[in-house]
Structure 1
Amino acid sequence: MQQRYPTKQSTAHLEQQKTQKLKARIARFFPFFHSCYAGDFDLHTREQTKMKIDKSLKLEIIDLFTALVNGDFDKISAENWFGKLNKNDIEARLSEYGNTLVLPPASFVEKIDSYEYNDGFGLALDVPLWTEEEGMSDLTLSLELIYDGTKAKLQMTDLRVL
């Protein structure tokens, strides 16, 4: 009996089937997520990219870091940076972590992991935070940058230890 080995075509077909099953599972268990984000990016196949972070985005991230370090939640609210988080979430997570936030070094952009959405209208960014005790810490701020016509909108989506 002759053994069959997967070909590129059959392997690609299997990957496509797995992706379709994953999307169906997401739709069944998280209908809100699926309806809002299914067209924006593909969770199963998004590729990590090292995109160039332009100067204006870098400055906005520094402004956000400065507001976090100083506990300036009024500025965060005024700039609409809260996104999926709120003041209580941020305070609780920073308190749980227990270290003192400080501003990052100028080279912090090199440490940002960015993921481009397949539709080309946004980025997901994982940005490590710096603390007085550790320097670059395990605490990571997840941001979303959505291109809305002529302007890019930056929002926080998560604050967690990676």
Structure 2
Amino acid sequence: MSTLDRRIVALLRQVIAWLVDRDFVAVEARSRGVRLSADLIRQAVDEYGRTLVTPPDEAFWDIDAIPVANSDERVWSVRFDLWTQEEGRSDLSLECTVIIDRGSLHLEIDNIHVP
């Protein structure tokens, strides 16, 4: 796993921890509110109707991260299945964009939904 991969995994782990803790304001702050506000994130989780839990470590071994072609910066489109107390790996997924600009990681939450 490369340094870049570790940084993206660490970022995802933090976002997932906030989602599990229902700290939607922290998710919005980290993503600068681009695309989804704390209220929209809360609504998506509440509508799913199950209790989010921290995924097992092995869930982070195979993250669906695809480099975005023809972008000026290094940009990754990331999809990660969320886990619930009731189901284990659920149908609910987090979709986000990670932008690496001058060594900093920027996050945009694109969607939280059942594909």
TM bucket normalised to smaller: 0.7 to 0.9
> 1:111, 1:127 within 8 Å by CA — same for their partners in 2?
no
More off after superposition, 106-115 vs 138-147: 106-115
CA change 1:82–1:66 in 2 (3 A) is farther
- Partners of 2:32 and 2:9 lie apart in 1 by 14
TM-score under structure 2 normalisation? 0.84
Aligned-pair CA distance for 1:73: 2.6
Pick from 87, 99, 113 the counterpart of residue 146 of structure 1.
99
- Residue aligned with 2:61, SS: helix
Q: Over aligned residues, Cα RMSD in angstroms?
A: 2.0
- Partners of 1:75 and 1:115 lie apart in 2 by 25
Pick from 75, 78, 94 the counterpart of residue 26 of structure 2.
75
- Residue aligned with 1:64, SS: helix
- Residue aligned with 1:66, SS: helix
Aligned-pair CA distance for 1:111: 4.0
| Cross-structure match for 2:110 | 157
Pick from 45, 70, 77 the counterpart of residue 124 of structure 1.
77
- Partners of 1:90 and 1:74 lie apart in 2 by 9
Q: Which has the higher strand share?
A: 2
User: Which stretches in structure 1 are left out of the alignment for 5+ residues?
Assistant: 1-50
- Identity, % of aligned positions: 29
Aligned-pair CA distance for 1:114: 1.8
TM-score under structure 1 normalisation? 0.62
| Cross-structure match for 2:51 | 100
Aligned-pair CA distance for 1:147: 1.7
Which protein has the larger Cα radius of gyration, Structure 1 or Structure 2? 1
- Residue aligned with 1:54, SS: helix
Aligned-pair CA distance for 1:78: 3.4
- Partners of 2:29 and 2:61 lie apart in 1 by 28
